Every structure is written in C-alpha cells, then in structure tokens.
C-alpha cells in the first residue's frame, strides 16, 4: 500500500526546504521560476496558491490512492505498485554483437523509434562537465551512444515543457514518472505538455546533485577523459571510474553518497510505480535486467519487441522478486522510521 510521505503542500516549500528533486517539471511554464545546475529556483515570488507547479511537483503531497485509481483504474496491493508481468530481460539478438550488456532500456527505446510508436525518445545523456543533459533522441545511434550511467538527476521535464513535442516516449527516474502521472490527471485549466506514448522508469534508490557530482568527477580526471563510471553490486559497494585509456580507478561508494539529493532521502518509490514499464538491475544475476510491465500498452510493446528480436525475456526468479519486494517495502519503511 502506498502512503503519502511527501510533506509539503506547495512546490515553493519544497524548494525552500531543499526537497526539490530537480526534475524540471515546474520549469519553462512561467516566468517566476528557473533552473540552476541542481534545482528549481524561485526568481520571483508568485502568489498563485494552486499553480501548475504545485500540481505537478513530485515532492508535493500526493494522494497516491486517487492517482493510482486514475492511472491504473485500480489499487495495487504490491509494494512495487501495479504489476501485470515481471521478467528478467536483456537486449535481443538483433543487437549482437554490438550490445553485449543487458541494455533492456536501450533495446526498448530503439524498438519504439524503429517501429514508429514514437518519433523521438526524451532521455538524458552526459553533457559537458559530466552534467546530465536532457535531449530528444531521434536515431538508434543517439540512443545507444547516450547509454552511459548517470548517477545524478536530470531536469528532463523542463525540456519537455519547452518543446511542444507530440510524438515521443520517455525514459526517466521514478520522481519524473510521478510528475508525469500528476500532469496526466491535471485539470483542464492548466497548460500541459503532450504526454509521452510510453513511459519507461529506471529503478532508483538515490541520485546525486549534478553540480556537486560534476565538481567531484572533475577532481578524479588527471588529464584523462572519463569513459564511464559504474557502481558495483552486492555488499561493500564501490564506484569504478573507467577512463578513455581503459585505465580504472575505484573509490568507496560513501565518497559520492554525500552528494545524494535531499529529496531522495524521503522518496518512497524504488521502481517507478506510475510507468508503463520499469527496468532495473537484477540482484541475483548481473547479466540481466529486471523488467516490470505495468500497463497493457507496456505489455504490447514488450511482446512486439521480443517478436522482433529486440529483447529477450525469461521467467523472473522467485528469490529475486522477494528481494525486490523487500527492497521496495524497505524504501517506504525507511522513510517512516
């Protein structure tokens, strides 16, 4: 059962108390707010009490029962939210040998573009100074090249508000997916962007302040460009920096944990409960992803992607499901305690 954990009535309070998730949902909709490298910023005080910004902010109090009923037509008893199917998955044979890793999201997004479901994918890539850069991918190449892991949040919804884009799908974090759900049920009087055809959520336990993380990464460079950084699975987690010359360096994860967004410490959503499809790691086998299908639309997409060899799916291990359920519950519990 999802319960309301967000404490704030207005997005202004969210910002002033540093609980902004940096999703960008309130940006580019009015002249009162702007975005700096980390968060939404109030440039001028607005005296509108129930503004669009308050309605779509993921950190403003959410009536989850109501929202679930509106989005899924029913309430889910599962701590991971509404689930139609759950699989272990990886990119299909179509991509071999180019994509050797699990890459479920990349595979799904490529399929969305190539099958004409959407013309563009709104996603995030690593930009200048390792700052996340939201963009509309229009080719398979762009999708594949953006596939670096980014540990910081991206103001992806601010780009959406500005674009006027009609045919696109979306890949983002649970907080961003929540904001899109809130946007979907927004009353008619508010201006709203066109909603995505397919919403894919990435699992998320926490994310970092982009500017602080970027500043930190700069200190690790030593005249060598960074290729990727990965967090190891299992206990005693490490972050591994892989450089362009293929040299590697590792640090204790605590080093970067100090850059975790304050909003992540109160977030209850591990798997992106308002998505069509949610994808994350599979704790029991690092060569596969976990794939949660929440909507009929999502189910159709996965079926077709499998048919066309974009994706491979396998039955989900029982013990993994138990672990994921526990992790989801714990994320909610942790906030309460």
Q: For another protein, give the closer residue by CB, 194 or 314.
A: 194
Q: What's the rounded Cα separation, in Å, for the pair 81 and 270?
A: 10
Q: For another protein, give the closer residue by CB, 55 or 291.
A: 55
147, 103 contact by CB (below 8 A) = yes
Per CB under 8 A, 227 contacts another protein: no
Q: For another protein, give the closer residue by CB, 32 or 216.
A: 32
For 266, the 3-state DSSP assignment is helix
Q: For another protein, give the closer residue by CB, 55 or 267.
A: 55
What's the CA dihedral at 198, 203, 205, 207 to 10 degrees? -60
Closest distance to another protein from the beta carbon of 34 (Å): 6
For another protein (CB under 8 A), the number of binding residues is 21
Q: For another protein, give the closer residue by CB, 161 or 289.
A: 161
Q: What's the rounded Cα separation, in Å, for the pair 308 and 305?
A: 5
Tokens representing residue 70 in the block: 């509106």
String of contacts with another protein for each residue 68-87, x by CB under 8 A: --------------------
String of contacts with another protein for each residue 14-53, x by CB under 8 A: ---------------xxxx-x-x-xx-xxxx-xxx-xxx-
Tokens representing residue 279 in the block: 């994808």
Q: For 265, which DSSP code?
A: G
String of contacts with another protein for each residue 179-208, x by CB under 8 A: ----------xxx-----------------
Q: Which of residues 50-69 bind another protein (CB under 8 A)?
A: 50-52
Closest distance to another protein from the beta carbon of 43 (Å): 5
β-strand pairing of 85-91 with 40-42: unpaired
Closest distance to another protein from the beta carbon of 283 (Å): 37
Question: If we measure between CA atoms, which residue out of 175, 153, 174 comes closest to residue 277?
Answer: 174
Residue 66 contacts by C-beta under 8 Å, 6 or more apart in sequence? none
200, 108 contact by CB (below 8 A) = yes
Q: For another protein, give the closer residue by CB, 191 or 222.
A: 191
Burial of 317 (0-12, 13-18, 19+ CB in 10 A): middle
Closest distance to another protein from the beta carbon of 129 (Å): 13
Placement of tokens 């079926």 in the chain? 303
Q: For another protein, give the closer residue by CB, 21 or 89.
A: 21
Name the residues that contact another protein, by CB under 8 A.
Answer: 29-32, 34, 36, 38-39, 41-44, 46-48, 50-52, 189-191
């Amino acid at each position: 059962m999802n319960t309301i954990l967000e404490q704030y009535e207005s997005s202004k309070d969210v910002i002033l108390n540093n609980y902004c998730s940096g999703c960008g949902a309130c940006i580019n909709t009015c002249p009162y707010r702007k975005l700096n490298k980390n968060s939404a910023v109030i440039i001028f005080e607005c005296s509108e009490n129930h503004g669009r910004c308050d309605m779509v902010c993921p950190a403003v109090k959410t009536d989850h029962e109501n929202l679930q009923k509106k989005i899924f037509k029913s309430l889910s008893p599962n701590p991971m939210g509404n689930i139609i199917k759950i699989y272990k998955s990886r990119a299909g044979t179509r991509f071999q040998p180019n994509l050797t890793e699990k890459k479920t999201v990349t595979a799904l997004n490529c399929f969305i573009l190539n099958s004409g479901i959407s013309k563009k994918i709104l996603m995030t890539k690593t930009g200048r100074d390792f700052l996340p850069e939201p963009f509309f991918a229009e080719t398979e190449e762009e999708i594949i090249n953006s596939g670096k892991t980014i540990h910081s949040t991206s103001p992806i919804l601010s780009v959406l508000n500005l674009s006027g884009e009609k045919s696109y799908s979306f890949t983002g974090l649970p907080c961003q997916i929540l904001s899109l759900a809130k946007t979907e049920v927004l009353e008619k009087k508010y201006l709203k962007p066109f909603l995505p055809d397919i919403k894919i959520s990435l699992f998320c336990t926490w994310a970092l302040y982009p500017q602080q993380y970027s500043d930190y990464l700069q200190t690790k460079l030593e005249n060598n460009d960074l290729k990727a950084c990965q967090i190891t699975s299992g206990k005693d987690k490490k972050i591994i920096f892989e450089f362009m010359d293929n040299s590697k360096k590792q640090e204790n994860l605590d080093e970067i944990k100090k850059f975790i967004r304050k909003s992540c410490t109160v977030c209850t959503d591990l798997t992106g409960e308002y998505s069509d499809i949610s994808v994350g790691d599979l704790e029991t086998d690092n060569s596969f992803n976990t794939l949660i299908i929440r909507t009929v639309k999502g189910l159709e997409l996965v079926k077709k992607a499998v048919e066309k060899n974009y994706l491979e799916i396998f039955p989900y291990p029982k013990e993994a499901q138990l672990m994921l359920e526990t992790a989801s519950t714990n994320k909610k519990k942790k906030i309460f305690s």
